[in-house]
């Protein structure tokens, strides 16, 4: 039996855009083993999800509009469009990413040849800004450093975890949203580049206490993972499950009322 308050995070894929064998980087927040929120849905994510869970995802957060993070949306649309009672999965999308998603995926003429369906008929699109509620939890959303400003975002559940999405180092956001004992799931491979974090960046940008809480993902290949492990870093594999501390009050209590009553 799972304890109902036990949270965990399961990686379904850990690869960079060129690392198909490692799976498109994505993962699932679970409570008592039940999937609450899938983060990103790149090519192959739905099949990997189906290998673990009996039902398709009910909620997805999208970090940004690169295809290794959204590439399965088209596939998902077609699975839903021809089902009798498809439900209405929630897509939590940072408001600034919505126009990009519209252009890259949704804006396709006549989604089904028979007509009568729009892309957004199959999903509940929920544009989000700094915070959003889902499953009784309050998630924080913040911009990261990946290509154009305000085009890629990370996600945090205070007290529990922070997921960077694709990014250069972001010490300012870790200080704001991961200053307790949160697990920090962080983009990293061996070599840094203008849109991703490399090992030398970690040493320069983060202190030892933060580095000890990092779990690295979105890397190039198994050799890169081995090179990062040799230096003492925790490196996620596809299928790895990380137990999480419980979310703190900022993630669970209705905010203003809690403060005014204390």
Binding site for Zn ion (CB under 5 A): 17, 66, 68, 166
Task: Name the minimum Å distance from CB 213 to Zn ion.
Answer: 22
Which residues are CB-neighbours of 124 under 8 A, at least 6 positions away? 88, 89, 90, 91
Report the nearest approach of Zn ion to the CB of residue 163 (Å).
13
Kindly state the tokens that stand for 111: 């989604």
Alpha helices (H) along the chain: 45-52, 67-70, 73-81, 98-101, 171-177, 199-205, 208-211, 222-230, 249-252, 255-261
Between β-strands 34-39 and 59-61, what pairing exists: parallel, antiparallel or unpaired? parallel
Nearer of residues 144 and 157 to Zn ion, judged by Cβ: 144
State the Cα–Cα distance between residues 220 and 185, nearest whole angstrom: 16
Nearer to Zn ion, 160 or 197 (CB): 197
Smallest distance, Å, CB 100 to Zn ion? 11
Compute the least distance from the CB of residue 183 to Zn ion, in Å: 20
Query: In the complex with Zn ion, which residue's Cβ is closer, 19 or 214?
Result: 19
For Zn ion, the closer CB: 39 or 174? 39
Cα–Cα distance measured from residue 144 to residue 63, given in angstroms and rounded to the nearest whole number: 9
């Amino acid at each position: 039996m799972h304890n109902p308050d036990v949270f965990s995070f399961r990686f379904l894929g850990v690869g960079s855009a060129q690392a198909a064998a490692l799976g498109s980087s994505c993962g699932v927040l679970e409570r008592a083993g039940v999937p609450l929120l899938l983060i990103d849905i790149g090519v192959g994510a739905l099949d990997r999800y189906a290998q673990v869970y009996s039902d398709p995802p009910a909620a997805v957060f999208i970090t940004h509009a690169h295809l290794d993070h959204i590439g399965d949306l088209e596939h998902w649309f077609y699975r839903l469009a021809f089902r009798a009672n498809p439900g209405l999965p929630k897509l939590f999308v940072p408001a600034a990413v919505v126009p990009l998603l519209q252009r890259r995926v949704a804006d396709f003429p006549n989604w089904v040849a028979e007509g009568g369906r729009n892309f957004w008929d199959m999903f509940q699109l929920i544009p989000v800004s700094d915070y959003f509620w889902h499953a009784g939890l309050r998630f924080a959303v913040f911009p990261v450093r990946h290509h154009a400003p305000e085009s890629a975002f990370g996600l945090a559940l205070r007290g529990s975890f922070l997921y960077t999405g694709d990014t250069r180092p972001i010490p300012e956001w870790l200080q704001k949203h991961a200053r307790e004992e949160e697990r920090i799931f962080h983009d990293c491979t061996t070599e840094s580049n203008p849109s991703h974090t490399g090992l030398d960046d970690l040493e320069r940008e983060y202190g030892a206490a933060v580095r000890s809480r990092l779990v690295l993902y979105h890397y190039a290949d198994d050799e890169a993972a081995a090179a990062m492990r040799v230096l003492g870093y925790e490196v996620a594999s596809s299928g790895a499950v990380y137990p999480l501390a419980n979310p703190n009050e900022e993630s669970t209590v209705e905010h203003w009322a809690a403060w005014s009553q204390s």
